[in-house]
A and B are shown apart, each in its own frame.
Chain A
Amino acid sequence: MITDDRWTERIRDPKAECMSRDERAALQGEKLRDLVKRVYGVVPFYTEKMKALGLEPGDIKGIEDIGKLPFTTKEDLRENYPFGFLAVPNEKIARVQGTSGTTGKLTVMAYTQKDVDVWGECVARCLTMAGLTAEDRIHVCYGYGLFTGGMGLDFGAQKLGAMAIPMSAGNTKRQLMCMEDFGATAFACTPSYAMHLAEAMAEAGVVDHMKIKAGVCGAEPWTVEMRKKIEEIMKINCFDIYGLCEITGPGVAMDCIHHEGLHVHADHFYPEVLDVSTHEPVGEGETGELVFTTLSKEAVPLIRYRTKDLTSINYETCKCGRTTPRISKFKGRTDDMKVIRGVNVFPTQVETALLGIGEVIPHYLLIIDRENNMDVLTVMVEVDEKFFSDEIRKLDALRNKIGSVLREALGLSVRVKLVEPKTIERSEGKAKRVIDNRNLV
Chain B
Amino acid sequence: MKQISVFVENRPGSLMEVTSRLTEAEVNIRAVASFDTPEFGILRMVVDDPQKAKQELTRLGFVVRIYEVMGVELQDEKGNLNHMLSILADGQINVNYIYSFVIREQKAPVMVFSTDDMEKAKEILTKAGVKIVTDEEL
Residues of chain A within 8 A of B62, CB atoms compared: 420-421
B68: min CB distance to chain A, Å: 11
Is residue A75 within 8 Å, beta carbon to beta carbon, of the partner chain?
no
**Shortest CB distance B117–A (Å):** 15
Complex partner residue of B61 from A392, A396, A422, CB under 8 angstroms: A422
Q: Which of A384, A388, A392 contacts B35 (CB 8 A)?
A: A392
Set of chain B residues within 8 Å of A420, measured between Cβ atoms: 7-9, 14, 61-63
Shortest CB-to-CB span from B50 to chain A, Å, is 13
Would you give the shortest CB distance from B126 to chain A, in whole angstroms?
Answer: 25
User: Does A418 interact with chain B (Cβ within 8 Å)?
Assistant: yes
A421 to chain B, nearest CB (A): 5
A419 contacts the other chain (CB 8 A): yes
A421 to B18, CA, bound (A): 13
Closest to B96 in A: A391
A383 in contact (CB, < 8 A) = yes
Are B63 and A385 touching (Cβ within 8 A)?
A: yes
A window 387-441: CB within 8 A of B: 387-392, 395-396, 417-423
What mask results when residues 118 to 134 of chain B are scored 1 for a CB within 8 Å of chain A, else 0? 00000000000000000
- Is A423 touching B35 in the complex (CB atoms < 8 A)? no
B-chain residues with CB within 8 Å of residue A387 when the two chains form the complex: 63
List the A side residues contacting B41 at CB < 8 Å.
392
Q: How many A-B residue pairs have CB under 8 A?
A: 51
Cβ distance B60 to chain A, nearest Cβ, rounded Å? 9
Total interface residues on A, CB under 8 Å, equals 18
Distance in angstroms between the alpha carbons of A123 and B96 in the assembled complex: 61
* Residue among A390, A419, A422 making CB contact with B65, cutoff 8 Å: A390
**Bound-complex Cα distance A332 to B114 (A):** 53
Whether B61 and A418, one on each chain, are in contact in the complex, defined by CB atoms closer than 8 angstroms, is no
Q: Is the CB of B7 within 8 A of A383?
A: yes
Chain B interface size, as a band, is 20 to 34
B contact residues around A396 at 8 Å (CB): 37
Cα distance, A396 to B40, chains bound together (Å)? 10
Residues in B with CB closer than 8 Å to A395 are: 7, 37, 40, 42
Instruction: Give B22-48 interface residues, CB cut-off 8 Å to A.
Output: 35-37, 39-42, 44
Q: Please give the distance in Å from A153's CB to the nearest CB on chain B.
A: 40
Complex CA gap A419/B114 in Å reads 25
The dominant DSSP class at the B interface is strand
Within the complex, which residue of B9, B37, B96 is in contact with A419, where a contact is CB–CB below 8 Å? B9
**Is the Cβ of B114 less than 8 Å from the Cβ of A383?**
no
Instruction: Please give the distance in Å from B5's CB to the nearest CB on chain A.
Output: 4
Q: B5 near A421 (CB under 8 angstroms)? A: no
Contacting residue for A384 out of B37, B40, B63, B114, CB 8 A? B63
Tell me the bound Cα distance from A417 to B37 in angstroms: 12
On whether A423 and B42 interact (CB within 8 A), knowing A384-B63, A390-B114, the answer reads: no
Kindly list chain B residues whose C-beta atoms are within 8 Å of the C-beta of A422: 61
Q: Is the CB of A418 within 8 A of B39?
A: yes
* Chain B residues with CB under 8 A of A388: 5, 7, 63, 65
Once the chains bind, are B63 and A390 in contact (CB under 8 Å)?
A: no
Docked pose: A387 CA to B58 CA in angstroms: 14
Q: How far is the CB of B89 from chain A (nearest CB, A)?
A: 20
Smallest Cβ distance from A125 to chain B, in angstroms? Answer: 49
A390 and B42 in contact, given A385-B63, A420-B7, A420-B9 (Cβ under 8 angstroms): yes
For A421, what are the chain B residues with a Cβ–Cβ distance below 8 Å? 61-63
A421 to B114, CA, bound (A): 25
A387 nearest in chain B by CB position: B63
Q: Are A390 and B5 in contact (CB under 8 A)?
A: yes
Q: Is the pair A418, B63 in contact by a Cβ cutoff of 8 Å? A: no
Do B42 and A392 touch across chains, with their CB atoms under 8 A apart? yes
> Are the CB atoms of B42 and A417 closer together than 8 Å?
no
A383 CA / B10 CA spacing, docked (Å): 14
Set of chain A residues within 8 Å of B39, measured between Cβ atoms: 417-418
CA distance A222 to B42 in the complex (A): 41
Distance of A439 Cα from B37 Cα, bound (Å):
32
**Beta-carbon contacts under 8 Å, A313-345 to B:** none
With A396-B37, A422-B61 already in contact, the answer to whether A390 and B9 are too (CB < 8 A) is no
Contacts of A389 in B (CB 8 A): 65
Q: A384 to B35, alpha carbons, bound, how many Å?
A: 18
Alpha-carbon separation in the docked complex, A418 to B55 (Å): 22
A206-221: CB near B (< 8 Å → 1, else 0) gives 0000000000000000
Per-position contact with B for A370-390: 1 when CB-CB < 8 Å, else 0? 000000000000011101111
Looking at the complex, which one of B8, B14, B67 makes contact with A390 (CB distance below 8 Å)? B67
Which residues of A, 211-257, contact B by the 8 Å Cβ criterion? none
Measured between beta carbons, the chain B residues less than 8 angstroms from A391 are: 42, 96
Distance (Å) between the CB of B42 and the closest chain A CB? 6
Q: How many whole Å from A399's CB to the nearest CB in chain B?
A: 8
User: Which residues on B sit within 8 Å (CB–CB) of A390?
Assistant: 5, 42, 44, 65, 67, 114
Is the beta-carbon distance between A383 and B63 smaller than 8 angstroms?
A: yes
The 3 closest A-B pairs by CB, nearest first: A422-B61, A390-B5, A388-B63
Q: Apart from A383-B63, A385-B58, A385-B65, what are 12 other A-B pairs with CB-CB below 8 Å?
A: A385-B63, A385-B64, A388-B7, A388-B65, A390-B5, A390-B65, A390-B67, A391-B42, A396-B37, A420-B7, A420-B62, A420-B63
A-B contact pairs, 10 of them (CB 8 A): A383-B7, A388-B5, A388-B7, A388-B63, A388-B65, A392-B36, A395-B37, A418-B7, A421-B62, A423-B9
